[in-house]
Amino acid sequence: MKKKYIIGIDVGGTNTDAVMIDSQKNIIATSKVSTSHDGISGIINALSLLKNNSNCEIEKICIGTTLGLNAILQGSDECARVGLLRIAGHNPDSIEPCITWQDHNKKNIVGYYTISGGYECDGRELSNLHEHEIREAAKKLIDKGAERIVINSVFGCMYRDHEQKVSDIIKQNFNTIEIDCASDFFHIGYVERENTALINSMLKKNFSQKLQTIKNELQKIVTSLFIVDNNGLLITIEEAIKYPIKTIVSGPINSCVGGMLLSKKSNNVIVIDIGGTSTDIGLVENETIRKSLHGVSVGGINLAIQAPDIITCGLGGGSIITKNNNNYEIGPKSVGNTLFENAYGAGGLIPTLSDVAYTLTIFNNEKFKKNYFTKEDGEIIMNKVIDTIEMYIEKITLKIRLFDIVIVGGGALLLPEEKIKQKKWIIPDNCGSANAYGAACAKRGIIYQKIITSLSEEDTRNKYNDIYDIVKKKLNNEGFFLIKTDIISQIEFPYSSDGKRFVEIKGIAL
Amino acid sequence: MNKNSEVNSIIQSIIIGANFLGSGGGGSAQEIALMITSLLKKYQFPKIVNPYDIDDKALILPIAFMGSPFVMREKLPSLQGSNVIIDCIRKKYNNNSLYTMAAEIGGGNAFTPLLYAMINGINCIDGDLLGRAFPEISMITTNLYSSLDIKKTAFISNDKGEFYEINNYKSFEELEEKARDIAIQSGSSACIVPHVLMGKQMKEIAIKKTYSLAYDIGNEIKKSTTIDVLIKNSSYNYVISGYVSDIKQQIIGGFSIGEIEVQTLKGVYTIILKNEYLALIHNNTVVSLCPDIISLLDYDSLYAINSELLRLGGRVHIVTMKADNVWYSDQGKTITQKSIRLILENKGIEV
Residue of B nearest to A93 (CA): B78
Q: Decide if B312 contacts B244 (C-beta within 8 A).
A: yes
The mean pLDDT value for A236-252 works out to 93
What would the DSSP string read from start to end of B98-126? EEEEES--SSGGGSHHHHHHHHHT-EEES
Q: How far is B260 from chain A (nearest CA, A)?
A: 17
pLDDT, position B1? 43
3-state secondary structure of B139: coil
Q: Decide if B63 contacts B187 (C-beta within 8 A).
A: no
Calculate the alpha carbon distances from B199 to A208, A429, B25, B194, B202 in Å. Answer: 61, 74, 29, 16, 5
- Collect all residues of chain B within an 8 Å Cβ-Cβ radius of residue A120: 75, 187-188
| A497 touching B (Cβ < 8 Å) | no
Calculate the alpha carbon distances from B219 to A170, B214, B230, B232, B321 in Å. Answer: 50, 8, 10, 14, 16
What is the residue-averaged pLDDT of chain A?
90
Nearest alpha-carbon partner for B89 in B190, B182, B13, B163: B163
pLDDT, position A373? 94
Residue of A nearest to B72 (CA): A189
pLDDT, position A457? 84
CB atoms within 10 A of CB B134: 27
pLDDT, position A54? 62
pLDDT, position A154? 96
| A92 touching B (Cβ < 8 Å) | yes
Are B187 and A91 a contacting pair at CB < 8 A?
A: no
Interface of A with B in 107-166 (CB under 8 A): 120-122, 124, 126, 154-155, 157
Q: How far is B47 from chain A (nearest CA, A)?
A: 20
3-state secondary structure of B248: strand
| B247 touching A (Cβ < 8 Å) | no
The mean pLDDT value for A349-365 works out to 94
Regions of chain B where pLDDT drops below 70: 1-3, 251-254
Share of chain A above pLDDT 70, in %: 97
Long-range contacts of A33-41 (CB under 8 A, 24+ apart): A35/A11, A38/A210, A38/A213, A39/A11, A39/A67, A39/A210, A39/A211, A39/A213, A39/A214, A40/A210, A40/A213, A40/A214, A40/A217
Are A95 and B35 a contacting pair at CB < 8 A?
A: yes
The mean pLDDT value for A220-242 works out to 93
Across A409-458, where does the E strand assignment appear? 445-453
Q: What angle do CA B277, B13, B259 make, to 5 degrees?
A: 10
pLDDT, position B54? 97
Q: How far is B162 from chain A (nearest CA, A)?
A: 12
pLDDT, position B106? 94
Please tell me the distance from the alpha carbon of residue A19 to that of residue A33, in angstroms, as a whole number.
12
Q: Which of B70, B75, B78 lies closest to A93 in CB terms?
A: B78
Q: How far is A312 from chain B (nearest CA, A)?
A: 14
pLDDT, position B124? 98
Judged against a pLDDT cut of 90, whether residue A489 lies above it is answered with no
Residue of B nearest to A190 (CA): B74
| pLDDT confidence tier of residue A81, bands split at 50, 70 and 90 | very high
Share of chain B above pLDDT 70, in %: 98
The mean pLDDT value for A312-337 works out to 87
pLDDT, position A294? 67
Q: Name the residue type at position B69.
A: P
What would the DSSP string read from start to end of A307-362? EE--EEES--TTEEEEEETTEEEEEEEE-GGGHHHHBGGGTSSB-BHHHHHHHTTS
Q: Decide if A314 contacts A331 (C-beta within 8 A).
A: yes
| B34 touching A (Cβ < 8 Å) | yes
Nearest alpha-carbon partner for B78 in B162, B185, B181: B162
Are B34 and A191 a contacting pair at CB < 8 A?
A: yes
Q: Which residue has the higher pLDDT, A484 or B314?
A: A484
The mean pLDDT value for A285-304 works out to 81
Long-range contacts of B327-335 (CB under 8 A, 24+ apart): B327/B131, B327/B291, B328/B291, B329/B144, B331/B144, B332/B144, B332/B291, B333/B291, B335/B138, B335/B139, B335/B143, B335/B144
ipTM exceeding the 0.85 mark = no
Residue to mutate among B37, B76, B249, with most A CBs inside 10 A, is B76
Calculate the alpha carbon distances from B150 to A238, A293, B178, B193, B198 in Å. Answer: 66, 44, 19, 13, 9
Q: How many CB pairs under 8 A join A and B?
A: 85
CA B70 distance to own-chain centroid = 17
The mean pLDDT value for A318-334 works out to 89
Judged against a pLDDT cut of 60, whether residue A420 lies above it is answered with yes
End-to-end CA distance of chain B: give it in Å, rounded. 50
Are B68 and A399 a contacting pair at CB < 8 A?
A: no
Are A154 and B75 a contacting pair at CB < 8 A?
A: yes
- Collect all residues of chain A within an 8 Å Cβ-Cβ radius of residue B34: 95, 99-100, 191
3-state secondary structure of B151: coil
| A401 touching B (Cβ < 8 Å) | no
pLDDT, position A293? 63
Nearest alpha-carbon partner for B241 in B167, B175, B314: B314
Q: Decide if A311 contacts A394 (C-beta within 8 A).
A: no
Using DSSP bridges, classify how beta strands B189-193 and B59-67 pair: parallel, antiparallel or unpaired. Answer: antiparallel
Please tell me the distance from the alpha carbon of residue A480 to that of residue B154, in angstroms, as a whole number.
63
pLDDT digits 0-9 by tens, B36-74: 888 998 999 999 999 999 999 999 999 998 877 778 888
| B185 touching A (Cβ < 8 Å) | no
CA B205 distance to own-chain centroid = 16
Provide the whole-model pTM. 0.87
What is the residue-averaged pLDDT of chain B?
90
Are A494 and B38 a contacting pair at CB < 8 A?
A: no
3-state secondary structure string, A61-89? EEEEECHHHHHHHHCCCCCCCEEEEEECC
Are A191 and B76 a contacting pair at CB < 8 A?
A: yes
Are A121 and B74 a contacting pair at CB < 8 A?
A: yes
Are B78 and A155 a contacting pair at CB < 8 A?
A: no
Are B77 and A92 a contacting pair at CB < 8 A?
A: yes
Q: Which of B76, B251, B311 lies closest to A94 in CB terms?
A: B76
Q: Name the residue type at position A254.
A: N
pLDDT, position A398? 65
The mean pLDDT value for A477-488 works out to 87
